[in-house]
Amino acid sequence: MYKKLYIKILLTFLLVFFSGTSITHENISHNIDIASGDKCVEPTDIMRAQHHIFLNKQSHDTVVDGIRTKKYSLNNCINCHIQPSADGTYPSVKSEEHFCSGCHIKAAAQVECFDCHASKPFNNEKIEEEISKK
Ligand code: HEC
Ligand code: HEC
Ligand code: HEC
């Protein structure tokens, strides 16, 4: 009786350990375009803690010193992080579905960059289509 139960528990463990994909991290959607290489511009823990510092520096370099680079540009972040949902629309910057806002809303961080900056990808066929219609 106990022996059978023991074997069942053991089998369950083995199944969980070796079933791979269904329980690993890779299965969790990052809302990231796979074509982009699937990597942030810095390691994730550094980005989590310092992204606003990179953005502020980038902003200063561009606006004050006229230096324009892609790596930390806000458009670069948005192009990679903001992907359309199944119906082809982009999440509003006011909703938690927006990668940046989801976190800012939870952390109660006031981020007003998107009053001026685009919160959705720009160089996107669909958006270009919409613009060309106007
Ligand atoms: C009042 C409007 C306004 C607001 C608000 C604003 N920006 Fe900007 N930002 C600009 C303008 C205008 C430029 C210069 C546009 C350009 O040359 O690309 C710029 C340029 C930048 C650049 C350099 C271009 C790039 O993307 O590499 C960064 C980075 C940037 N802003 C980040 C921010 C961040 C982060 C915030 C929020 C903390 C913010 N901005 C808020 C208007 C604004
Ligand atoms: C080429 C794609 C790409 C670009 C460009 C990019 N990121 Fe990322 N970013 C990622 C990936 C992939 C992760 C890891 C996602 C995860 O683990 O949830 C990540 C993680 C992050 C995180 C941490 C998320 C968390 O859950 O802790 C922040 C914050 C972040 N990125 C902000 C930015 C900002 C700001 C920019 C622009 C300066 C940017 N990213 C540019 C792909 C990108
Ligand atoms: C993992 C959570 C998380 C994600 C994802 C995230 N942020 Fe933040 N962000 C924060 C927190 C928390 C703060 C408050 C500053 C601090 O103490 O770190 C902040 C602050 C900022 C600031 C500084 C605001 C100011 O006015 O000084 C900017 C700019 C910013 N985030 C931009 C972005 C952009 C752009 C993205 C998406 C590409 C993004 N963040 C994604 C957590 C996040």
Local confidence band at 10 (pLDDT 50, 70, 90 cut-offs): very low
Q: At 67, list the tokens.
A: 């230096």
Helix axes 74-81, 44-63, angle to 10 degrees: 140
Nearest to 68, CA basis, from 76, 118, 78, 128: 76
Asked whether the predicted pLDDT for residue 75 surpasses 80, the reply is yes
Amino acid identity, residue 102? Answer: G
Q: What is the pLDDT of residue 33?
A: 53
Q: What is the pLDDT of residue 20?
A: 37
Q: What average pLDDT does range 105-124 have in this prediction?
A: 91
Query: How many whole angstroms separate alpha carbon 75 and alpha carbon 87?
Result: 22
Mean pLDDT of the chain: 78
Q: What is the pLDDT of residue 93?
A: 96
Q: What is the pLDDT of residue 15?
A: 36
Which residue's structure tokens are 């930390």?
72
Long-range contacts of 57-62 (CB under 8 A, 24+ apart): none
Asked whether the predicted pLDDT for residue 65 surpasses 80, the reply is yes
Residues across the chain: 134
CA 117 to centroid of ligand 1, rounded, Å: 6
Question: Which residues have CB under 8 Å from 90's CB, separation 6+?
Answer: 82, 83, 84, 119, 120, 121
Ligand 3 pocket member 57 (CB < 6 A): no
Ligand 1 pocket member 65 (CB < 6 A): no
Q: What is the pLDDT of residue 8?
A: 52
Closest atom of ligand 3 relative to the 55 alpha carbon:
29
